[in-house]
Structure 1
Amino acid sequence: MQPESVMAYVNRLKNTNLACGKTLLELTTYREVALWWFVDVMFYYYLFNREYAGSGRKTGLIHKIQTSRLFRALVRKVYYIGDYPLALIAYLILLRFNRIKQVTSLGQEKTILITGEDIEWRTFYAGDQSEPILSDQFFHAIIQELNEKGAYRIVSTFPLKCPYIPSIRTVISKCKHWGVLHVPLNLFFRCRIGRERSEAKLHFRKIWDMMKDDRGLAELLELPEDPDGEIRRKIKNYFAYDRPEYVFAEFVKFISMAETMLDSIKPAVIVIEDEYSVFERALIVAAGKKNIPCIAIQHGVIDESHKGYLYQADEISLDHSIKSPFVPIADVTAVYGQYHKDLLTRAGGYPENVVVVTGQPRYDRLTDLDRQPVRSRLIEEWHLDPTKKIVLWTTQCHGISDAENELNFHTVFDSISSIKDVQLIIKQHPGEPGRYDTMIQEHLRGYSIDAHIVAKDADTLGLLALSDLVLLLNSTTGLEAVALQKPLIVLNLGGQPDIGNYVLEGVACGVYRPGDLKTTIERLLHDDACLAQNREGFIRRYLYRIDGKAAERVVALIEECAETRGVGAVRQEGTK
């Protein structure tokens, strides 16, 4: 399926009246909240990635065991019970580092609550420091600006994620090295919340029993691309909870945990990254119930097919209601540039007054990365040859097929091996599973090239600052490369349309055939004037300003929301 057809199908599925007289969206309403919005984005990508396609259903003894009712019930029970030890682990970590008293004393001062994701915890260079720091790279500039104000207590939260050991290590590291109080959401799981989840599970199982034979639903779920009925099984599990994953009953749990946390922390404002994911959506719902303003900060590329941001005109409430049928969104969404505001308000269903252009606070440190001491340290850290040109390739292996990955590996490695005095840095996406590490290493063995595979959590902005050319498929990395005045190549060998406007806007060269990559790299390393002439206009439209003051603008927005409770007069443009 193409993005447009997938989006159209998802909208038709949730909005069509079934034979029972209700829509799928209405049937997912629980305690006045339409829980469909918690799966809307995941279900879209499930379809887009064609998880139901392939060579038919799996067979064999292991598959039979894994799909048996007894095995699923056992795994679900373990999943259920897991919330209790996770709550205990969160408590013990905070107790070990003397943070419990800090948690219990919250609410006595103005608090800003941020969502500190595990993936953002890393070392990077910031400000005028010659040594790298360990912090949350997404919120660091905002935290620094808030600390300078001295008027707020900053608290971070995020749930422990599977696999749990790395997530627990991240929490411990934050307790050791961070001046911000980080409180895992799991601390707020209660026995009553477990009972609420069980009640929700029974409720939605009854709903599924009522609708499983619905003729209208059967017609919607009958697709030629899905001969084995995998889509139906996916929808069924959202209701019936046959196997552990994000399902409606679990969303009820997350909302209740978020409400319990907000009752304890009592924040003046909540600032969110990745607002369409499950935990963040639950936090928005809980905040809406408690009348606590939420600010969402754009964290990645938004394009015309981004399901996390694009809604139909009547799906977002004009008065910020979180109740069904409306999608719960933040009170204010801070975006990179005017392009993104126009997209959200003209095509995404967002009201004009809830989208504010601020720029990206994470990019405030771009102006410091060209300092010679930092460059020298980075070259030494990654064992680079300062006499050679540097091509940075930021991969996204988990978003494309293995066949396309293998074609990319051969194309890039063939091209680099035939260009003199060039070294390749491979920076994998932090979300890439380990199997892609092996795949890259295996393909590299067949080439004699100067290649460096850096850690997945390496400082991407630092790598970009060192690079002479950047190679990608689609990513926020492209915005950052343009901001740093780097020549950019979009390598898209999969035959799908480009995601993002880099080539269209004239700040990148598109390579769509393997044989064109080598000559394109050589041409841009020699002269990138064809791209350079378009960068300033692109930056104004997509990034507002690279002036080191985006965090200042976001903090001004936070203070304004704290004063007006989030739904008052937000600025139509970024704070000057």
Structure 2
Amino acid sequence: MIETAERIIKVKKPSIIVMHDEYGALQMSFLYASKKFKISTLSLQHGTIYQNAFAYTHKDSDINNDVTELDFPLPDRMCVWSESAKNALITSAKFPITVPIVTGDPKMNSLNKNKFKREKILKNFKIPSDKKIILFATENLPSNEERDLISHTIFESISMIKDCFFIVKVHPNETDISKYHKIAEKFKVSSYMIIKDANPYELIHVSDIVIISYSTVGLEAMRMSKPVISLNLMGYHDESIIIKNNLASIVRTKKELIPTITELLVDQNKEKIEYAKNFAEQELGSIYQDATEKIVKNILELKNSENRF
């Protein structure tokens, strides 16, 4: 992949490379290649970054931005959502202090400028207004066994809860959504919607409960003052920032899900919701930052710096 990245750079001759995260195999290949050709690089934070996160736990010896051997390559700048993320990159991931730049999350520009109207959203998605709405955000989990267990557990539980409408927001990396229709049919769930391409903030806004495993969607829902259920049915996510800090209702067995949903539909813990909202705002940054403008400014600064090609 590094050779492919080098060939693309030779042909396209970019003045800067911008990437959405920097730890995937494709992104790292371009980082290695960009160092060779002295091309500026900038990455955007993709998911939650916190102290000792798996993807961002390095030794000092792992990081050397100018070395030629295969260490952990870094972008010239990384635009992050919050001071919390910046501090985690510097202390836990050993990033040089010049790399992380706090810009905020560009997705929040949309959330800040659009005043969501519940009635309009319900009408657009043909969601009944007289039912409680439960949103499940799927995740690109590495274990197929866990994916199947979570999906079957949720649909089975939903089939036993009256007067609710179930929304499955499919992760962008999932390609086969037919499996969810098959599970719905298996458990005779009729009042539901499965959607992939939609503004998640609109769906969160109209939802009464949001269900995740450990996704950043959980924190985004908390910032919007929604109660969140975190499914940890196989015990894989104990180190999740959501579970570790007791921000959500944690469900560890199948039999716990129905009573947890039922309880939250009747009596939401306002004190816990407020605590989770404050925590999420600290991790995700303010929605009032002009993130897009700041990111563009950093791109132009790197692009207009000394031509390194």
TM-score of the superposed pair, with normalisation by structure 2? 0.87
CA contact under 8 A between 1:258 and 1:282: conserved in structure 2? no
2:214 is matched by which residue type in structure 1? N
Q: State the alpha-carbon separation in 2 of the partners of residues 293 and 306 from structure 1.
A: 26
1:382–1:454 CA contact under 8 A, matched in 2: no
Matched, 1:254 2:5: yes
Q: TM-score, normalised by structure 1?
A: 0.49
CA distance in 1, matches of 2:259, 2:199: 29
Aligned to 2:150: 408
Q: Deviations for 1:234-266, whole angstroms, at most 9, x for unmatched residues?
A: xxxxxxxxxxxxxxxx4213222223212xxx4
Residue identity in the other structure for 2:241: N
1:277 aligns with 2:24: yes
Kindly indicate whether the alpha-carbon contact (under 8 Å) linking 1:424 and 1:450 is maintained by their aligned counterparts in 2: no
Is residue 486 of structure 1 aligned with residue 226 of structure 2? yes
Aligned equivalent of 1:420 = 162
Q: Return the alpha-carbon distance in structure 1 between the equivalents of residues 130 and 41 of structure 2.
A: 49
Which whole-Å deviations, capped at 9, do the CAs of 1:454-512 have from their partners, x for residues lacking one? 33233222222221211011212122212222111101101223352113334311111
Q: Are positions 1:514 and 2:261 aligned together? A: no
Structure number with the higher helix fraction is: 1
Change (3 A) 1:497 1:261: same
AA aligned opposite 1:465: H
Partner of 2:292 in structure 1?
Answer: 551
Give secondary structure in 2 for the equivalent of 1:260: helix
- Amino acid corresponding to residue 379 of structure 1 in structure 2: L
CA distance in 1, matches of 2:33, 2:148: 44
Residues in 2 aligned to 1:491 and 1:466: alpha-carbon distance in whole angstroms: 21
Distance 1:257 1:311, change over 3 A: same
CA distance in 2, matches of 1:480, 1:408: 21
Q: Which letter maps to 2:105?
A: Q
- Quick one: higher RCO (CA 8 Å, sep 6+), 1 or 2? 2
1:451 and 1:337, CA in 2 relative to 1: closer, same or farther beyond 3 A?
A: farther
Number of the residue aligned with 1:357 = 102
Q: 2:40 is matched with which residue?
A: 293
Answer yes or no: is the 8 Å Cα contact 1:493–1:514 preserved in 2: yes
User: In 2, are the aligned partners of 1:389 and 1:421 still within 8 Å (CA)?
Assistant: yes
One-letter amino acid of the structure 1 residue matched with residue 100 of structure 2: V
Deviation at 1:343, TM superposition (A): 2.0
For 2:10 and 2:33, how far apart are their aligned partners in 1? 5
Amino acid at match of 2:159: S
Q: Which residue of 2 aligns with 1:457?
A: 197
Q: Structure 2 matches for 1:525-540, cutoff 5 A?
A: 525=265, 526-540=267-281
- Bigger Cα displacement from structure 2, 437-446 vs 470-479: 437-446
Classify the secondary structure of the residue corresponding to 1:366.
Answer: helix
> 1:311: which partner in 2?
58
Instruction: Identify which of 533, 537, 541 aligns with 2:282.
Output: 541
Post-superposition Cα deviations, 1:186-225, rounded to whole Å, max 9, x if no partner, equal: xxxxxxxxxxxxxxxxxxxxxxxxxxxxxxxxxxxxxxxx
Report how many residues are paired: 307
Shift of 1:350: 1.0
Which region of structure 1 is more displaced relative to structure 2, 458-467 or 393-402? Answer: 393-402
Q: Cα–Cα, structure 1 residues 451 and 431, in superposed 2: closer, same or farther, change >3 Å?
A: farther
- CA drift of 1:273 comes to 0.8
The correspondence of residues 162-241 of structure 1 with structure 2, limited to 5 A, is none
3-state SS of the aligned residue for 2:66? Answer: coil
Q: CA contact under 8 A between 2:238 and 2:244: conserved in structure 1? A: no
More displaced, 483-492 or 409-418?
409-418
C-alpha distance in structure 1 between counterparts of 2:68 and 2:167, whole Å = 48
Equivalent residue for 2:122, pick from 351, 375, 379: 379
**SS, match of residue 352 in structure 1:** coil
Q: 2:212 and 2:93 mapped to 1: Cα distance?
A: 26
> 1:390 offset after TM fit, Å?
0.8
Alignment of 1:147-162 (within 5 A): none
Q: In 2 relative to 1, CA 279–504 (structure 1 residues): closer, same or farther, beyond 3 Å?
A: closer
**Higher mean C-alpha displacement, 517-526 vs 292-301:** 517-526
Task: Give, in whole Å, the separation in 2 of the partners of 1:560 and 1:483.
Answer: 32
Which deviations, in whole Å up to 9, do the C-alpha atoms of 1:58-90 show, x marking residues without a partner?
A: xxxxxxxxxxxxxxxxxxxxxxxxxxxxxxxxx
Quick check: 2:56–2:92 contact (8 Å CA) kept in 1? Answer: no
| Equivalent of residue 84 in structure 2, options 327, 339, 346 | 339
1:337 Cα deviation (Å)? Answer: 1.9
Q: CA RMSD in A?
A: 2.7
- Could you tell me how far 1:438 is from its partner in structure 2? 4.1
SS at match of 1:420: coil
**Taking structure 1 as reference, are residues 535 and 308 closer, same or farther at Cα in structure 2, changes over 3 Å only?**
closer
Long gaps (5+) in structure 1: 1-249, 568-576
What residue is the counterpart of 1:366 in the other structure? 111
Q: Which residue of 1 aligns with 2:133?
A: 390
Partners of 1:521 and 1:357 lie apart in 2 by 37
Question: Relative to structure 1, is the Cα distance of residues 444 and 305 closer, same or farther in structure 2, using a 3 angstrom cutoff?
Answer: farther
Which of these residues, 173, 192, 199, is aligned with residue 431 of structure 1? 173
Q: Distance in 2 between matches of 1:399 and 1:536?
A: 28
Shift of 1:307: 4.9
Q: Residues 566 and 531 from structure 1, CA distance in 2 versus in 1: closer, same or farther, beyond 3 angstroms?
A: farther
1:447 Cα deviation (Å)?
3.1
- On the 8 A contact 2:225/2:274 being kept in 1, the answer is no
Structure 2, unmatched stretches of 5+, are none
The one-letter code matched in structure 2 to 1:409 is: S
> Within the alignment, does 1:327 sit opposite 2:72 as a pair?
yes
Please state how far the C-alpha of 1:398 moved relative to its aligned partner. 4.8
For the Cα contact (< 8 Å) 1:298–1:335, is it kept in 2? yes
